[in-house]
Amino acid sequence: MGLIFKDIHDEQQESLMKTMHIGNTWEFRYFKAKAYFWGCIATTSGVTITATVDYCIHKFTAHSGIIGWILG
């Protein structure tokens, strides 16, 4: 038989379930996929911009790249 009266653990579980909007549903999976997609876009953009700046510094200045330019 189960519990007749609620204890503090049951109240905490109910409160947690009421305040959890996303949960482990399709919304959470969609959110993770969207975050992964935009994270990949941001990472790829950052790498591309850094490589372009490094190439431009190497090509058009006397420095050997970003690290050489920073360390001077």
Question: How much is the pLDDT for 35?
Answer: 97
Write the pLDDT tens digit of every residue in 1-54. Answer: 456 666 666 777 777 666 665 556 777 888 899 999 999 999 999 999 999 999
Sequence-separated (6 or more) residues with CB below 8 Å from residue 67:
none
Range of the domain at 34: 24-71
Bigger pLDDT: 51 vs 69? 51
- Residue 64 located in a structural domain: yes
Sequence-separated (6 or more) residues with CB below 8 Å from residue 3:
10
- Residue 53 located in a structural domain: yes
For residue 72, is pLDDT > 90? no
pTM over 0.75: no
- Residue 28 located in a structural domain: yes
- Residue 60 located in a structural domain: yes
Number of folded domains that form the chain: 1
Encode the chain in three state secondary structure.
CCCCCCCHHHHHHHHHHHHCCCCCCHHHHHHHHHHHHHHHHHHHHHHHHHHHHHHHHHHHCCCCCHHHHHHC
- Residue 8 located in a structural domain: no
